[in-house]
Amino acid sequence: MDIRFRVGGWFRNGILEIPQLNVGMSSETLFRNLIAIEQCFHGYSNVITSYAIFMDNLISSKEDMELLCKKQVIGNWMSDEDGCEFFSNLYKDIPHNKFYYYGLCKQVNARYRSRWYTWLALLKSEKFSNPWRILAFGIGIIVLILTAWSQTNNIRVNMHK
């Protein structure tokens, strides 16, 4: 499974690119069999197990499942609760010695734990949560700039007298 993380610019979020997966009633059996093959034969990699672990960590609630379905990462042919349960039960009691998405998870966590990004996300969600707040902030900045400009002009005029 080719999962990538593209880092965005200063004011843009990063993008986690995950290929679409359709899950249905027979998907659990298929995935469990693929994971069993990976675990039994040492010639196979742990890519499917790693994918199951990654998706379980990504999906922790019904809302997470709804978001991934909305973004067409998961084609869910079950209810959102069943889809969430599908990923949480997929690799239970299965040992794994190599997690292929460790570097990816480290990169995503480093991006979202950085002070700059945390501060920007907090500012965006609390201070700029609606268009009126953005407009008020813009007008406030314009008034501040015009006031500073006016004061510098007054000082210059008074100095030349």
Q: Are residues 137 and 111 in the same domain?
A: no
Closest CA to 60 of 81, 78, 45, 74: 81
pLDDT tens digit sequence for 24-37: 888 888 988 988 88
Task: Count CB-CB contacts under 10 A for residue 38.
Answer: 19
Residue 125 counted as domain residue: no
Same domain membership, residue 23 and residue 93: yes
Considering the domain architecture, whether residues 18 and 82 belong to the same structural domain is answered as yes
pLDDT digits (tens, 9 = 90+) for 90-136: 877 777 778 888 888 888 888 777 777 777 777 777 878 888 888 99
Nearest to 69 by CA among 137, 127, 22, 120: 22
Q: Range of 49's domain?
A: 4-119
Q: How many structural domains is the chain composed of?
A: 2
- 33 within some domain: yes
**Same domain for 135 and 112:** no
**DSSP 8-state secondary structure symbol assigned to residue 161:** -
Same-domain pairing of 39 and 98: yes
Residues 24 and 101 occupy one common structural domain: yes
